[in-house]
Amino acid sequence: MDWEAHIECWSRTTVRLLEVQLFAAQAGTVPEHDVAATGFFLLTVQGEATVSLSGTVYSTRSAPLLHGGKETEFGLMPLDNEFVCYFIRYQADSLFPEDQESFNMPYAFTPYTLLPLQEKCQAMDRLWQHTAPLEKLEAQTVFHQFVYEVMRQIHSSAQGTSRPGVVTEAIHYIHEHYSEPITAEVLAGMCSCSTSYLFRMFKSQLGFGPIDYLIHVRIRRSKQLLLQSNARIQEIAGSVGYADVYYFSRLFKKHTGCSPQRFRENNKHTVQNNPLHLLKSSIVSGKPVSHNDNENYYQLNEEGDTSMFRFSRPALGAALLLCSAIFLSACQTGNNTGKAASEPIPTSTAADSEAADTRIYKHLKGETEIPVKPQRVVSLFHLGELMALGVKPVGATTFILNNPLLSDVSDIEDVGSTPDAEKILSLAPDLIITTAPFAEVVEGGYEALSQIAPTLVVEQYNDPVKDVEMFGDILGKQTEAKQWNKDFAAKIKESKEKIAPYIEPGETFSILNVRSGAVFIYGDTNLGGNIVYKYLGLKPTEKVEKEVIHGETWEISSEVIPDFIGDRLILAVNEGAEAELKKVDKLIQNSPAGKAGKIYNIDFNQFLFSDPISVEQQMDIIVNLLAGSST
């Protein structure tokens, strides 16, 4: 099916919600067979059934969302008494016959995240039960939001890329629902993962947690409302998710340095007369700071009210960026010529010509024309990868600039923890490289970045060999990439030989991280796990192999710590975790590694990154510990 054309049909057709029903098999209300009189969606909430659409049979376990059109022959057979589904009928009034044909097409789809769809169905069902016109009108609005979410997920899947990561999906959910009560548990449930896993992914991909980002979005939206409307502070607080205006004011002052009223007074006049200042003041806020205990309590207890206002990511930021780019270009043109129009333009040098050559590069957002030899790169996540190839970007985010294992980064411009689009624009890049999560957190998203410079959204492999190969291709540094990978293979071989005399056959290794209030066990990706298990080929314990490397275990309770620790333990204790370490230290010391005196302490901050330069130094640290401290 041509999904682009189908989505286009939805965008230009008048569609009206006709009915929302919740069916439960145990109540005997599920229709067994029918011919649809209108278009419909069926979304499975619980259980399993087989559904026939015009002769094609689907299982709701593999395809929870089904669509049928007018005159679709519809049959449903629940496979258990627990089957529950929403049945949504709609009327599409198309102006073009081909559009009507598209609406009549039956199809099945497997959403990569069901919760947003189920939530919208629940809201529609609740509103539809009312007889008041206002509730019916709101139900129509929610139906369009439901259709948008369906089409968004279909469009993403149709691109042929992998499922969006949990961070990208959580960011999208935050942008759609920031005015509602949101907790870490809600976000984790939406992403079908644990809260600790979600926090870990946010921290590793963005440098801050999900609630930190939620606060950032709310403060940024409140700035916009303060400067672009005359709404009362209490109304603005409620519209960004804070029922308590006094709490909102304290939080706003903590993050901006002044009260909401003072911020409005100090900035509104300037903003109205300076579009660039508007971009800086009202769209891009500063670095998110960790939420305090009060904020944590506030979020966990789901305080705040749900506002009727919804703010999608504004196009204003992207428009202003484009205007700014045109303005800067015009200024540069005027400054550079200063001659009569008839005077010849100086001939470009060979280097300029090479830099001007372009090619098409395929990435997660499609195909983009990029320079063959980019000269001014801004990288929002990958820094060590570029530096390993001899390329120093002109700008990078705070997160990667804080990597303690990277040297000589002083002349790289910090574009912010959540990237400041105006600052990126001021650097005049000829190429921007980002990951999907960082593309989402920029105001205006990928589209805004693309209006500044050609922008690539690349995979986050966290594998130095793959990353170096990918960036060698992007930057026109294929020769340097091959040489780095060759040298890295030699380094792995040399490291194995160095530790071989100190490792007994069959010895097992574990990696433990003690944090304030929590203990984490690592597999073969983070905190040196890639080095220990993949590159050096050391053996994990059976439980680590089964439940961590090939499972989903990460955070563990203190009583099971001995079950995961092998003959040797690599231990990282975070700052401020002294109390937690005291609680579990006896268990650690009584493990095989503890009794043998084979516990090796590493600095968590040094092992947080997985770029090529960091991994090389991390390998040296681990090898020296094993070779120098072994008995």
What does the pLDDT look like over 132-152, one tens digit per residue? 888 899 899 989 989 988 888
Per-residue pLDDT for 528 more than 60? Answer: yes
> Would you state the pLDDT for residue 508?
93
> Would you state the pLDDT for residue 270?
55
- Sign for the pseudo-dihedral over CA of 246, 251, 255, 257: positive
Mean pLDDT of the chain: 80
List CB contacts of 272: < 8 A, sequence separation 6 or more: 278
Pairing of strands 49-53, 56-59: antiparallel
Range from 132-136, 244-248, 289-293, 355-359 carrying the lowest mean pLDDT: 289-293
Average pLDDT over residues 153-170: 71
Per cent of the chain over pLDDT 70 is 83
**Which position has the higher pLDDT, 73 or 619?**
619
Looking at this protein, which amino acid is placed at residue 512? L
> Would you state the pLDDT for residue 339?
36
**Which position has the higher pLDDT, 311 or 579?**
579
> Would you state the pLDDT for residue 288?
43
Reduced to 3 states (helix: H, G, I; strand: E, B; else coil), residue 499 is helix
Looking at this protein, which amino acid is placed at residue 51? V
Average pLDDT over residues 230-259: 88
Residue 41 to residue 120: CA distance in whole angstroms: 13
> Would you state the pLDDT for residue 202?
83
For 9-31, the pLDDT digits (tens) are: 888 888 999 999 888 876 555 55
Most confident segment among 151-165, 195-209, 414-428: 414-428
pLDDT band at 279 (very low <50, low <70, confident <90, very high): very low
Per-residue pLDDT for 316 more than 80? Answer: no
> Would you state the pLDDT for residue 554?
77
> Would you state the pLDDT for residue 114?
78
Per-residue pLDDT for 302 more than 60? Answer: no
Per-residue pLDDT for 300 more than 60? Answer: no
Average pLDDT over residues 522-538: 88
Per-residue pLDDT for 353 more than 60? Answer: no
> Would you state the pLDDT for residue 286?
41
Average pLDDT over residues 550-573: 86
Give bridge partners of residue 65 from the DSSP assignment.
Answer: 43, 109
Per-residue pLDDT for 629 more than 60? Answer: no
Average pLDDT over residues 190-218: 81
- Assigned token pair, 513: 């991280």
Per-residue pLDDT for 427 more than 80? Answer: yes
> Would you state the pLDDT for residue 623?
94
**Which position has the higher pLDDT, 73 or 336?**
73
Average pLDDT over residues 181-189: 83
- How many Cβ atoms are within 10 Å of 187's Cβ, its own excluded? 27
Could you give the angle at the alpha carbon of 443 between the alpha carbons of 289 and 233, nearest 5°? 65
> Would you state the pLDDT for residue 394?
93
Residue 381 to residue 459: CA distance in whole angstroms: 11
Range from 14-18, 87-91, 276-280, 552-556 carrying the lowest mean pLDDT: 276-280
> Would you state the pLDDT for residue 296?
40
> Would you state the pLDDT for residue 335?
41
Pairing of strands 431-434, 65-68: unpaired
DSSP H helices, 207-291, are 210-228, 233-239, 245-256, 260-273, 275-278
> Would you state the pLDDT for residue 511?
92
Distance of CA 147 to the CA centre of its chain: 22
> Would you state the pLDDT for residue 46?
82
Per-residue pLDDT for 501 more than 80? Answer: yes
Task: For residue 14, give the DSSP letter.
Answer: E
> Would you state the pLDDT for residue 325?
46
